[in-house]
Amino acid sequence: MAALAADLSVRQTKGARRTGVLMETFGYPEKAWSAAKDQARAVLTGCARGQQTISYSELVRKISAIDLLAHDPRLDELLNQLSVEEAAAGRGMLSVVVVHKSGDMRPGRGFVSCAEELGFDTSDAERLWVEQLTKVFATWGGSRA
């Protein structure tokens, strides 16, 4: 867990050196970006407590601190940051509860990419999704029994 937290710190520091600002905020003031993350975290932990998923479009409607769209690279980064932080804390990749509203009803490609960066086995995306969903549900709302 400490290694994941250290890796997050290194990623943020590298971003700051590369651009002079933290790229991860996409030009938003840190306070607004943090508020958006807090709003997203509250929505996602609420979903996890209720053992439910939420679509990308539903999630962005619940974030008011910054303007986001369902197919928005800024949303991808926000979800990646939440997943890195939550995984480092041992609670699993919280973004696992955010899914496509139609079709496969699974997280997007960014979820698997983030999992790979975190060192998870991504050879079977379905298994990865089920494992992370189970962990997040158990962490926030108890396991399904």
The first and second tokens of residue 127, run together, are 């298994």
What confidence score (pLDDT) does residue 142 get?
61
- Structural domains in the chain (count): 1
Which residues on adjacent β-strands are paired with residue 98? Answer: 54
User: Does residue 86 fall inside a structural domain?
Assistant: yes
How much is the pLDDT for 20? Answer: 33
Is 14 part of a structural domain of the chain? yes
Nearest of 80, 100, 40 to residue 64 by alpha carbon: 40
Q: In this structure, is residue 145 part of a structural domain?
A: no
pLDDT of residue 24: 76
Alpha helices in 20-96 (DSSP H): 30-49, 56-61, 73-88
Report if residue 144 sits inside a domain. Answer: no
Q: Is residue 16 part of a domain?
A: yes
* 3-state DSSP helix/strand/coil % of the chain, to nearest 5: 65, 5, 35
The domain containing residue 51 runs over which residues? 2-139
pLDDT per residue of the chain (145 residues) written in tens, 0 to 9: 444 444 444 343 333 322 233 347 988 999 999 999 999 999 999 999 999 999 999 999 999 999 999 999 999 999 999 999 999 999 999 999 999 999 899 999 999 999 999 999 999 999 999 999 999 999 998 654 4
